[in-house]
Amino acid sequence: MPRQRSTSGVASVRLSASPRSQRRQRRERLPLAALARRLLTLPRVGEVELVASQQGLRALHFTAVGEASHLELEPTTAAHAILDRAERYLVAYASRSGGDDGAGLPAMPRLDLTALTPFTREVLQLTSAIAFGQTQSYGTIAWQLGKPGAARAVGQAMGRNPVPILIPCHRVLAGSGLGGFSCGDELKRILLAIEGVTLFRR
């Protein structure tokens, strides 16, 4: 099966869509031909799949090695440019050493969050404002929303974050410690360590 190599040296894979990919596409609510996909391997993070529409980056999926079934079905120039920008940002991000302030990271790609509910978009907008290397609690986000009793609903909305890392829900912690993460506690610790945030295991 042919593999394409991107200019940054990270592989882009061209394959037919598997049932798993088709299920994801249905969740993304766009015709398959309208989506461009790319598979990247990031230092310390592993394999991720990027999904872009013409409007912006629509999803980032963490995948196990060899499990992705990903393609670029003659995507538009706009979708290609979004994938290129996302790749540059993610490769630079994953290559950081803990303790810096994130200065000098490439510009992030435009995001396409049109499939999300207004509440989820509002939660993720506040999450996006948390700076590199900083953290907040679910309760703080709920308070910023004017809904101080909604910490659980905030956590559930973050579980629907389609573009982790780019919308940094890993920077949101429980009042008692790490808190949840849709992609697993260990990956949350890795992302925080990239940003110089160290948490003690309980």
Active site residues: 169
Phi, psi of 62 (to 5 degrees): -85, 130
The DSSP code sequence of 35-102 is -EEEEEEETTTEEEEEEE-SSSEEEEEEE-TT-----B-S--HHHHHHHHHHHHHHHHHHT--TTS--
Cα–Cα dist 165/105, whole Å = 13
**Residue 64 to residues 89, 153, 183, Cα–Cα distance (Å):** 21, 29, 11
Q: Identify whether the C-beta of residue 174 lies closer than 8 Å to the C-beta of residue 167.
A: no
